[in-house]
């Protein structure tokens, strides 16, 4: 199928959103965009970020999860954080109600996969849709993932890219889900941004219409609606723009102040038991 032959109902698939740990100093991102342009020149590419910490699967997972609600329906999300490139890990494409996800089956897609129904999932083994019959063992982003994203954006049905795989077999990164307690909620840190703000797994719905504090270790932080709710240099907890309870320091780094890392356990406590909402 040539791009010109694509039916009109594929027009909303012409956005490819890229997430990687490649940085922009080297040629890797530009090369992937070049491959996309050669296969689907009408596609618009949007750089979500290419500055994730190298090989940080959890950062990739959260970045995709937090960007996913804000791009148009039909977007193809191309995620390349792939420390297992060239090994037996699968290369996959997944179709959801919102669009398509393309990347390695190593957990980087799992935040969305846990929250969205999966309509179809395939392993990208059909060499007809690779860039070359023998892809590089170290750059599947160029030779497998970018071509797959371009073909999907141009209207190629996902089931032509490879055989179907069981959605239940897709890799999910181990991250403790938030749970209700007698006095509130417990969760873990799932991502830390460049400012040192730490997003937890506790959703905003767990603290709606409630007075609450957050405890990590022996430290208890007050809640606020903005970073400026406390004086400069002081810590607090609030709901971040991503929709999760966040740990922050006004004009400072919560990561440095509290020694935070992904997986650290945190506890939200409501001021009165009757303030606690139903589970989200």
Q: What is the pLDDT of residues 26-76, one digit of tens each?
A: 999 999 999 999 999 999 999 999 999 999 999 999 999 999 999 999 999
Q: What is the C-alpha separation between 188 and 176, in angstroms, rounded? A: 7
**CATH entry, 179-275, from 2.40.30.90, 3.40.50.1820, 1.10.3720.10, 3.40.50.720:** 2.40.30.90
- 3-state SS string for 107-152: CCCHHHHHHCCEEEEEECCCHHHCCCCCCCCCCHHHHHHHHHHHHH
**CATH entry, 3-169, from 3.20.20.140, 3.40.50.2300, 3.40.50.1860, 3.40.50.10790:** 3.40.50.10790
Which contiguous run of DSSP H or E holds residue 54? Answer: none
Is the Cβ–Cβ distance between 14 and 43 less than 8 Å? Answer: yes
Task: Say how many C-beta atoms besides its own lie within 10 A of residue 196's C-beta.
Answer: 17
| Banded model confidence at residue 19, pLDDT cuts 50, 70, 90 | very high
Q: What is the pLDDT of residues 197-212, one digit of tens each?
A: 999 999 999 998 668 9
Strand order in the sheet with 75-80: 44-49, 15-20, 75-80, 99-104, 91-96, 118-123
Q: What is the C-alpha separation between 81 and 8, in angstroms, rounded? A: 32
Burial class (CB in 10 A: 0-12, 13-18, 19+), 65: buried
| Banded model confidence at residue 13, pLDDT cuts 50, 70, 90 | low
Q: State pTM to two decimals.
A: 0.87
- Hey, do 3-169 and 179-275 end up sharing a CATH topology, with the first three levels equal? no
| Banded model confidence at residue 21, pLDDT cuts 50, 70, 90 | very high
Average per-residue pLDDT in the chain? 91
The SS3 assignment for 268 reads strand
Dihedral sign for Cα atoms in the order 55, 57, 60, 62: negative
Domain boundaries of the chain, sorted by first residue: 3-169, 179-275
Q: What is the pLDDT of residue 272?
A: 56
Residues 6+ apart with CB under 8 A from 216: 247, 258, 260, 264, 265, 266, 267
Q: What is the pLDDT of residue 219?
A: 93
């Amino acid at each position: 199928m040539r791009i010109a032959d694509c039916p009109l109902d594929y027009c909303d698939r012409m956005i490819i959103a890229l997430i990687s740990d490649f940085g922009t100093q080297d040629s890797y991102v530009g090369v992937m965009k070049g491959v996309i342009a050669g296969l689907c020149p009408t596609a618009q590419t949007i750089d979500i970020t290419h500055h994730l910490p190298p090989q940080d699967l959890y950062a990739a997972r959260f970045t995709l999860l937090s960007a996913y609600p804000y791009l148009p329906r039909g977007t193809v999300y191309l995620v390349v954080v792939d420390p297992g490139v060239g090994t037996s890990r699968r290369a996959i494409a997944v179709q959801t109600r919102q669009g398509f996800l393309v990347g390695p089956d190593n957990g980087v897609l799992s935040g969305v996969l846990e929250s969205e129904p999966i309509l179809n999932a395939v392993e990208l083994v059909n060499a007809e849709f690779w860039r070359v019959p023998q892809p590089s063992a170290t750059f599947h982003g160029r030779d497998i993932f970018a071509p797959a994203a371009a073909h999907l954006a141009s209207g190629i049905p996902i089931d032509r890219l490879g055989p179907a795989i069981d959605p239940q077999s897709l890799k999910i990164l181990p991250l403790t889900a938030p749970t209700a307690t007698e006095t509130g909620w417990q969760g873990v840190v799932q991502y830390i941004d460049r400012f040192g703000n730490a997003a937890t797994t506790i959703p905003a719905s767990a603290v709606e219409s409630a007075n609450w504090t957050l405890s990590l270790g022996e430290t208890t932080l007050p809640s606020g609606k903005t970073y400026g709710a406390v004086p400069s240099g002081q810590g607090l907890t609030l709901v971040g723009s991503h929709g999760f309870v966040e740990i922050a320091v006004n004009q400072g780094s919560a990561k440095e102040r509290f020694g935070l890392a992904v997986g650290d356990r945190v506890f939200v406590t409501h001021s009165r038991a009757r303030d606690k909402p139903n589970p989200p």
